[in-house]
A and B are shown apart, each in its own frame.
Chain A
């Protein structure tokens, strides 16, 4: 055992005690014998990085929006949630969002499964804050892209379409680098904007779909965890290092002032 680091072919086979090497390494008992292996395993199991924790807000938003818990897990909400979830899982954020209106929980779930590196928090808050009906799937899909000004003029429209939560979510994701040019989400956004070159203008015209949080059972923004109690370093708390947002000048950011305050 002790010769392992130096001998590429240590005579271990058939020695039962060797089978416990990992246990001893994990227990810190064999570090001296195999410092390289111990270091490698320690690296593999090191504390979570900011990147690995960046999805927290979206995950929590999904949790809040889906209303988990013993009391509700087997009640009426279950039947409603599963088909919606299945649909969303099959599609992901942009597809579901761009094709039609999606429910509050759906937005959060979609934002979550969208795995957006920087946008989830925005999307999550937006999702929770956007009480849109889920009944008119397809309405936006059937409607060709119109002019951004027309869409802007429709601010406050009740029916979900690409000027609503979907557009806001897509634009937020796009502005935070969450949409790869090859992604369906990006193409959906480009289509809605009448072309990739029009996305900037289009998103600048997209307003926050409303932040009526009053209807939400748990009040997501205030219940959003800060992560402080875990003792992790600040960079990992939210996945949003300070300044990350302010350092991204986006025209759209100013057109929905409610977003920053809602975010934190």
Chain B
């Protein structure tokens, strides 16, 4: 999150400042991608790119604070995903890029980036666990935890009441607790990709 700088950065981006836009993008894109990986699987990068193009298109008319911006961004992406699914006459897919894909794509990275790739894998492991939740719960957890929306904004994005969001997230956490019990926790940090086995 850009925090107190957001307003100024947004304003510069709206005036066409590419560096300011880059800041917005760097700040929000990783989280957007993660949200989409959980909700849209392999379509995540495509949808994210489309969403950003729409954001660029309409940035000049956006008004709001940083949570509002994230809500806007994720809503655009969500609508695009749903539209695509509707056009294809199917339910939104949840296909999860396997670990091999991440490893493969990071194969060309230099040393310092390789460390980041390892950290990304533990992030991926966390996302994989969240993705094991029922889709609506997984989405709400991602919106709350990763996109960083508050309960009211999550409720607005998914079209539910705040109370329903709280209950769903509560159930999601309980379920995640069970999954963690069975599978261990993906630990982030120091380039370590390890699963802490509770029984070990």
Contact = CB atoms under 8 A, between A and B. Distances in A.
Interface of A: 4-5, 8-10, 12, 18-23, 25-26, 34, 36-37, 39-53, 55-56, 59-60, 62-64, 66-74, 78, 81-82, 85, 89, 109, 112-113, 115, 117-118, 177, 218, 220, 223-225, 227, 229-230, 232-236, 241-244, 247-248
Nearest to B12: A69
Contacts of A72: 16, 60
B158 interface: no
A236 B116 contact: yes
B19 A225 contact: yes
A5 B34 CA distance: 25
B113 A43 contact: no
Interface residues of B, number: 73
Given A8-B181, A44-B127, A243-B110, A66 B26 contact: no
A5 B58 CA distance: 45
Contacts of A64: 18
A41 to B, nearest CB: 5
Given A40-B176, A115-B45, A117-B105, A21 B170 contact: yes
A49 B178 contact: no
B56 A62 contact: yes
Interface in B77-118: 102, 105-106, 108-113, 115-117
What 9 pairs between A and B have smallest CB-CB spacing? A48-B30, A241-B110, A73-B60, A235-B113, A49-B120, A43-B126, A52-B30, A70-B60, A225-B22
B57 to A, nearest CB: 7
B113 A55 contact: no
B169 interface: yes
B123 interface: yes
Interface in B28-87: 29-31, 33-34, 45-46, 49-50, 52-53, 56-61
A68 B59 contact: yes
B106 A244 contact: no
A22 B145 contact: yes
A51 B104 CA distance: 11
A178 to B, nearest CB: 10
Contact of A115 (B15, B46, B145, B186): B46
A227 B26 contact: yes
Contacts of A78: 57
Contact of A40 (B53, B58, B61, B180): B180
Contacts of A71: 15-16, 60
Contacts, number: 235
A205 to B, nearest CB: 25
Given A19-B167, A227-B22, A244 B16 contact: no
B173 interface: yes
A43 B188 CA distance: 6
B142 interface: yes
Given A53-B29, A59-B52, A243-B110, A223 B19 contact: yes
A224 B125 CA distance: 33
B155 interface: no
Contacts of B157: none
A51 B102 contact: yes
B93 to A, nearest CB: 17
30 contacts: A5-B181, A9-B178, A36-B177, A36-B198, A43-B122, A43-B125, A43-B186, A49-B117, A49-B123, A51-B109, A52-B30, A52-B33, A56-B26, A59-B22, A63-B56, A66-B57, A68-B21, A68-B57, A68-B59, A70-B61, A85-B57, A112-B49, A113-B53, A117-B105, A225-B19, A225-B22, A227-B22, A233-B116, A235-B115, A247-B108
